[in-house]
């Protein structure tokens, strides 16, 4: 497995381009299965998860053509195999997103259950109950979900128990080709849900209310070709802003969208950063100062994203003062704590709360990446540590960060990848 070796102590300074959002690209690629004509998707990030989803579509017989600018053309009409096998689903939980569109368009789908993962149990019961409410027969056996419907799915009113991002997305895609109108109550409001709705509408779908907690989907008989550009990755943006803040540095993130980062920018201002925004850029300047610790609580959008929790912890451990972080979305998303403490951090965990007392200086150490955002948090903590940090198992990072070492190097960080 590749490793990243980081020598801390450099103040970041410079500009980077933000990539397309992983968590928008994956549902949009799954939604290409709804169309009766080829569709093209642009601004896809060059990430392992995107490659895995394209591989999954390819395995199912879907024709996928990628051009040299990473625009992907997908033609779902060539599909032969209505199965998403375990060996692909296990490396990427978003594979469950092919379930809704496949059963809606082709009347049948067999998709491996994703199972648990490092950050928590990640159930899909809400996805399955919603599909049943739309008339699908669901059977779970031997680790697979077998879904089928006679004729078409039927519109339904579905109240989701918990706010779930992929659950909302799966049901929105299924409803797009159903007979009649579906109302999703307690829907996720994430910008990636809105981007998916815009894509469905560009294919001729009729989705209203995405971005609010009630989404209404009027089913249409068929979907047509279109071109869609994926939105910017707000989590990648937030990660680089914190990386610069941790080092007392300055950064301009370009091709991003400040309007979907309110909770993150507010906390960074509280941490003492000077932040300016334009239509498509965010500039952060710490002017050489040490950040102040911040307290936060993760929750569904528009509150603080759980996907930014580990990176804010990296900020708190080098900050002035004590910050308390409460994780309310996933039950086991503190695995970076032990690794950070090995770098000299002072973090105490009590249930779903981490009390972070900032220290003057972290020290480099060999650490292990356990999940995607935990890996990113260790890399950015290492930028502020004295000496060398080796982050092992960085395949997690390659699932979600395009060219992380090149982007950090361009900002002045000393970081290199050591291949296996």
Task: Check residue 93 for interaction with ligand PEP (CB under 6 A).
Answer: yes
Residues touching ligand UD1: how many (CB under 6 A)? 23
Cross-strand pairs, 207: 217
Task: Check residue 234 for interaction with ligand PEP (CB under 6 A).
Answer: no
Using the minimum distance from each CB to ligand UD1, give the nearer residue, 379 or 415. Answer: 379
Q: Which of 125, 139, 179, 348 binds ligand UD1 (CB under 6 A)?
A: 125
Q: What is the DSSP letter of 37?
A: S
Task: Check residue 339 for interaction with ligand UD1 (CB under 6 A).
Answer: no
Q: In terms of C-beta distances under 8 Å and separation of at least 24 residues, what long-range contacts does 67-72 make, across chains too?
A: 69/42, 70/42, 70/44, 70/46, 71/40, 71/41, 71/42, 71/44, 72/29, 72/40, 72/41, 72/44
Residue 400 binds: one of ligand UD1, ligand PEP, none (C-beta under 5 to 8 A by kind): ligand PEP
Residue 125 binds: one of ligand UD1, ligand PEP, none (C-beta under 5 to 8 A by kind): ligand UD1
- Residue 88's nearest CA partner among 58, 43, 127 is 58
**HSE value, Cβ hemisphere, 13 Å, CA-based, for 25:** 26
CA distance 165 to 332: 18
Kindly state the tokens that stand for 44: 């896809």
Q: What is the DSSP letter of 237?
A: H
Strand order in the sheet with 366-368: 366-368, 388-392, 3-7, 414-418
Q: Which of 41, 126, 354, 408 binds ligand UD1 (CB under 6 A)?
A: 126
CA distance 229 to 345: 40
Task: Check residue 23 for interaction with ligand PEP (CB under 6 A).
Answer: yes
For strand 83-84 and strand 108-112, is the pairing parallel, antiparallel, or unpaired?
parallel
Residue 12 binds: one of ligand PEP, ligand UD1, none (C-beta under 5 to 8 A by kind): none
Task: Estimate the crossing angle of helix 309-318 against helix 234-246, to 10 degrees.
Answer: 10
Q: Evaluate whether 68 touches 112 at the Cβ level (below 8 Å).
A: no
Q: Which of 8, 29, 74, 127 binds ligand UD1 (CB under 6 A)?
A: 127
413 phi and psi angles, rounded to 5 deg: -75, 150
Please indicate whether residue 226 is annotated as part of the active site. Answer: no
Rounded to 10 degrees, what is the CA torsion of 78, 83, 84, 87? -120
Q: What angle do CA 26, 198, 55 make, to 5 degrees?
A: 20
Q: What is the CA radius of gyration of the chain?
A: 21
Task: Check residue 302 for interaction with ligand UD1 (CB under 6 A).
Answer: no
Task: Check residue 330 for interaction with ligand UD1 (CB under 6 A).
Answer: yes
Using the minimum distance from each CB to ligand UD1, give the nearer residue, 10 or 297. Answer: 297
The distance of closest approach from Cβ of residue 420 to ligand PEP in the complex, given in angstroms and rounded to an integer, is: 23
The distance of closest approach from Cβ of residue 310 to ligand UD1 in the complex, given in angstroms and rounded to an integer, is: 11
Residue 124 binds: one of ligand UD1, ligand PEP, none (C-beta under 5 to 8 A by kind): ligand UD1
- Active-site residue among 117, 226, 356, 403? 117
The distance of closest approach from Cβ of residue 243 to ligand PEP in the complex, given in angstroms and rounded to an integer, is: 16
The distance of closest approach from Cβ of residue 235 to ligand UD1 in the complex, given in angstroms and rounded to an integer, is: 8
Using the minimum distance from each CB to ligand UD1, give the nearer residue, 377 or 389. Answer: 377
Catalytic residues: 117
Residue ranges in contact with ligand UD1 by CB under 6 A: 23, 26, 93-94, 120-127, 162, 164-167, 192, 305-307, 329-330
The annotated binding site is made up of 22-23, 93, 307, 329
The annotated binding site for UDP-N-acetyl-alpha-D-glucosamine is made up of 93, 307, 329
Residue ranges in contact with ligand PEP by CB under 6 A: 23, 93-94, 119, 307, 372-373, 400
């Amino acid at each position: 497995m590749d490793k990243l070796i980081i020598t801390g102590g450099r103040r970041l300074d410079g500009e980077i381009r933000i990539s397309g959002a992983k968590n928008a690209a994956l549902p949009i690629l799954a939604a290409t299965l709804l169309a009766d004509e080829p569709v093209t998707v642009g601004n896809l990030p060059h990430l392992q998860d995107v490659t895995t989803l394209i591989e999954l579509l390819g395995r199912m017989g879907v024709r996928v053509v990628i051009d040299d600018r990473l625009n992907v053309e997908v033609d779902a009409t060539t599909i032969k195999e209505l199965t998403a096998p375990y060996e692909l689903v296990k490396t990427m939980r978003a594979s469950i997103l092919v379930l809704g569109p496949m059963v809606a368009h082709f009347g049948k789908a067999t998709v491996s259950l994703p199972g648990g993962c490092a950050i928590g149990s990640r159930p899909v019961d809400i996805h399955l109950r919603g599909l049943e409410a739309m008339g699908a027969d669901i059977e779970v056996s031997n680790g697979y979900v077998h879904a089928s419907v006679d004729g078409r799915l039927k519109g339904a009113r579905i109240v989701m128990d918990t706010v779930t991002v992929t659950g909302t997305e799966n049901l929105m895609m299924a409803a797009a080709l159903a007979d009649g109108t579906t109302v999703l109550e307690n829907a996720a409001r994430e910008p990636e849900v809105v981007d998916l709705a815009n894509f469905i509408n560009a294919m001729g779908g009729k989705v209203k209310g995405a971005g609010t907690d009630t989404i209404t989907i009027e089913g249409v008989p068929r979907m047509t070709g279109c071109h869609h550009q994926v939105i910017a990755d707000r989590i990648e943006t937030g990660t680089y802003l914190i990386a610069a803040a941790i080092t007392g540095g300055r950064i301009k993130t370009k091709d991003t969208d400040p309007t979907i980062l309110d909770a993150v920018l507010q906390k960074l201002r509280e941490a003492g950063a000077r932040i300016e925004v334009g239509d498509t850029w965010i500039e952060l300047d710490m002017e050489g100062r040490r950040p102040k610790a911040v307290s936060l609580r993760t929750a569904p959008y528009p509150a603080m994203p759980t996907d930014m929790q580990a990176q804010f912890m990296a900020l708190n451990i080098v900050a002035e003062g004590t910050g308390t972080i409460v994780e309310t979305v996933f039950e086991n998303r503190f695995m970076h704590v032990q690794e950070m403490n090995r770098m000299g951090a002072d973090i105490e965990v009590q249930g779903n709360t981490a009390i972070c007392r900032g220290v003057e200086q972290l020290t480099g150490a060999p650490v292990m990446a356990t999940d995607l955002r935990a890996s990113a948090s260790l890399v950015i903590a290492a930028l502020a540590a004295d000496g060398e940090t080796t982050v092992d198992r960085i395949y997690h990072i390659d699932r979600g960060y395009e060219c992380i070492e090149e982007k950090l190097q361009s900002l002045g960080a000393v970081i290199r990848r050591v291949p296996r």
